[in-house]
Amino acid sequence: MRRKFIILSAAILAVCAAGCGSESNEDPVPARTSYTNPLSAVPIGDPTFVKGDDGYFYLYSSEEVRGMPIMRSANLTDWEQFGIVFSDARRPKLDGMTEGGLWAPDVSRLGDRYIMYYAYAPANSVDGWGHGIGVAEADRPEGPWTDKGRLFLGGEIGVKWSIDPCFVHEDDGSNWLLWGSYYGIWAIELSADGLSVKPGAEKVHLAGKDGYGIEGAMIHKKDGKYYLFLSHGGTEYNEHYKLGVAVSDNLLGPYLNKAGKSVADGAPVDFFLAAGNGFISPGHCSEIFTDKNGTDWVFYHAWVEGHPEYRRLLMLDKIVWNDGWPSISDGYPTYESKEVPAL
């Protein structure tokens, strides 16, 4: 029997986009003991999140809601749309972009500021060289967000389809950006404020070769190792998106699969999450959250099987580590979890 998913209309919830950003005196959502996926009826693709000083978690996603939605939660499972990142008046207008999309944001705290990297493309960027990375900053995770302009274009840095940024702040104080897609995953050092490429910095190739369909890089440091999470395939409803990983002793690689082969040379990553349990095309994970019990949790997006009209939706799953490698449930997205993050 096919499971029935009860999902509120995203059109109804979209009413919040203009008015959900006001301050609320309501108590946080009571603690849960279970949850079901997906977590939100608002379309959420390529999620990223950060915790604010107010105790709330703030989550951002690609522009399937215009302006990029900001979601808020007290417990990582109950989410409300709190606002949007960019109103039309504040929307980035980079390189003559008037209609092109904004997607795959990555938000981190850097000192006393919050910084966001995002992918964009002018409407006339059809060959991939015009795709690039922009950057914005805010004093609070809910904004207001101020666009700081272009970090680089693919044609400037020599990487076609320069999208899907991932920020990494190292213990030595250095800042790095990972990015890229089907033409390789790359890293480059940034300035101390994170708003520009460090003068003289050279890009480093981490994974993938031309035409090999990986994207959505995310770094997670655990037990002295660097785990490079990547998604493979297409992001649309039936394009077989799935999530994999490779590991290294260093941020700049080499990243190896379980067979000890370098993914920079074209070896495949090891996949651990694919379509199943009523969901298809899962992938593009965000930062991994470690709860107070030491359990790791990861956000990603997926489509509900049989319902392409819902678009990509927000998913949460527990990561279990076996012999230094991550796994999720039975290798498929979880519909119902009897465990929740311990906060």
Q: What tens digit of pLDDT does each residue of 119-176 get?
A: 998 766 778 898 999 999 999 999 999 999 999 999 999 999 999 999 999 999 999 9
Has residue 5 been placed in a domain? Answer: no
Say if strands 132-138 and 146-153 run parallel, antiparallel, or are unpaired: antiparallel
Has residue 86 been placed in a domain? Answer: yes
Assess whether pLDDT exceeds 90 at residue 276: yes
Q: List phi, psi (to 5°) of 120.
A: -150, 165
**3-class SS at 180?**
strand
Comparing CA positions, the residue from 7, 38, 60, 74 lying closest to residue 337 is 38
Cα separation, 36 vs 212, in Å, equals 33
Has residue 2 been placed in a domain? Answer: no
Q: List phi, psi (to 5°) of 118.
A: -145, 155
Has residue 3 been placed in a domain? Answer: no
Has residue 342 been placed in a domain? Answer: no
**CATH classification of the domain holding 181:** 2.115.10.20
Alpha helices, DSSP H, located in the chain: 10-13, 16-19, 154-157
Has residue 291 been placed in a domain? Answer: yes
Structural domains of the chain, count:
1
Q: Determine the residue type at 180.
A: G
Q: List phi, psi (to 5°) of 17.
A: -55, -35
Identify the band that residue 100 occupies on the pLDDT scale cut at 50, 70 and 90: low
312 lies in which domain range?
A: 10-337
Q: How long, in residues, is the chain?
A: 343
Assess whether pLDDT exceeds 70 at residue 89: yes
Cα separation, 189 vs 340, in Å, equals 36
Identify the band that residue 5 occupies on the pLDDT scale cut at 50, 70 and 90: very low
Has residue 149 been placed in a domain? Answer: yes
Average pLDDT for residues 227-254, to the nearest whole number? 95
Cβ distance 160 to 219 under 8 Å? Answer: no
Q: What is the pLDDT of residues 313-337, one digit of tens each?
A: 999 999 999 999 999 999 999 999 9
Has residue 101 been placed in a domain? Answer: yes
Assess whether pLDDT exceeds 70 at residue 94: yes
Assess whether pLDDT exceeds 60 at residue 23: no
Cα separation, 125 vs 137, in Å, equals 25
Identify the band that residue 8 occupies on the pLDDT scale cut at 50, 70 and 90: very low
